[in-house]
């Protein structure tokens, strides 16, 4: 006997109609999903911001390493006027330059703004100040990321 032709009929309710979700059941599922999203999304948003702050700190540490290599080769840090561009292009009449010191150019901070550079530094008087204005894009406010604070 060949069973390939036997079809299983769909389950039916006692009244003869096929089983389906009611509007109340669908709304209940949507409310549950919305509640879960309201709890989970802020946690991921905060993680994203924390990842950007960590990325900025990493960039600053990498740029500092390049600045130290520049200082070893040239005997000084780039001036404020030369800026971080001196890590990519040799300043005029500067002996000892062995760059470029950054492989991929001068990065922007995770919020799309340039890193700020000052030499001689106001906070690092023997070196240079390197910082990002952070998430708000403005100096101050307690969320700047820099190379002189212990965080």
pLDDT along the chain (151 residues), means of 10: 58 62 82 80 73 90 92 92 93 88 90 92 87 83 81 52
d(CA 97, CA 120) in angstroms, rounded, equals 19
Structural domain includes residue 134: yes
Does residue 32 fall inside a structural domain? no
Specify if 52 maps to a domain: no
Look at the alpha carbons of 145, 148, 149, 150 in this order and tell me if their dihedral is positive or negative.
positive
Residue 135: per-residue pLDDT: 85
Scanning the structure block, which residue is given the tokens 């069973």? 3
Range of the domain at 110: 63-151
Which two tokens mark 68?
């130290």
**What is the pLDDT at residue 115?**
94
Interacting residues of 85 by C-beta distance below 8 A, sequence separation 6+: 78, 106
What is the predicted pLDDT for the residue at 13?
58
Q: Is residue 84 assigned to a domain? A: yes
What integer pLDDT is reported at residue 114 of this predicted model?
A: 93
Q: What pLDDT shows up at residue 69? A: 92
CATH number of the domain enclosing 105: 3.30.700.10
Q: What confidence score (pLDDT) does residue 119 get?
A: 92
Residues 6+ apart with CB under 8 A from 2: none
Query: What is the distance between the terminal CA atoms of the chain, rounded to a whole angstrom?
Result: 78
Question: What per-residue confidence (pLDDT) applies to 149?
Answer: 81
In this prediction, residue 9 carries a pLDDT of: 60
The pair of structure tokens assigned to 9 is: 């009929």
pLDDT for the residue numbered 1: 55
Asked if residue 89 belongs to a domain, the reply is yes
Total count of domains within the chain: 1
Q: What is residue 8's predicted lDDT score, i.e. its pLDDT?
A: 57
Identify the DSSP state of 118: E
Q: Is residue 105 part of a domain?
A: yes
Asked whether residue 125 is domain-assigned, the answer is yes
Residue 16: what pLDDT? 58
Within a domain: residue 71? yes
Separation between Cα atoms, residue 139 and residue 145, nearest integer Å: 10
């Amino acid at each position: 006997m060949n069973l390939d032709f036997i079809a299983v009929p769909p389950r039916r309710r006692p009244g003869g109609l096929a089983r389906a979700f009611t509007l109340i059941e669908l709304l209940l599922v949507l409310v549950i999903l919305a509640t879960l999203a309201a709890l989970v999304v802020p946690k991921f948003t905060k993680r994203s911001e924390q990842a950007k702050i960590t990325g900025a700190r990493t960039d600053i540490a990498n740029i500092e390493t390049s600045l130290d290599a520049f200082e070893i080769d040239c005997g000084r840090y780039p001036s404020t006027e030369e800026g971080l561009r001196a890590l990519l292009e040799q300043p005029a009449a500067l002996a000892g330059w062995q760059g470029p010191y950054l492989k991929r150019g001068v990065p922007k901070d995770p919020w799309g703004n340039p890193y700020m550079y000052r030499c001689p530094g106001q906070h690092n008087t023997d070196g240079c100040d390197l910082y990002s204005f952070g998430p708000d894009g403005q100096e101050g406010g307690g969320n700047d990321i820099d190379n002189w604070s212990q965080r």
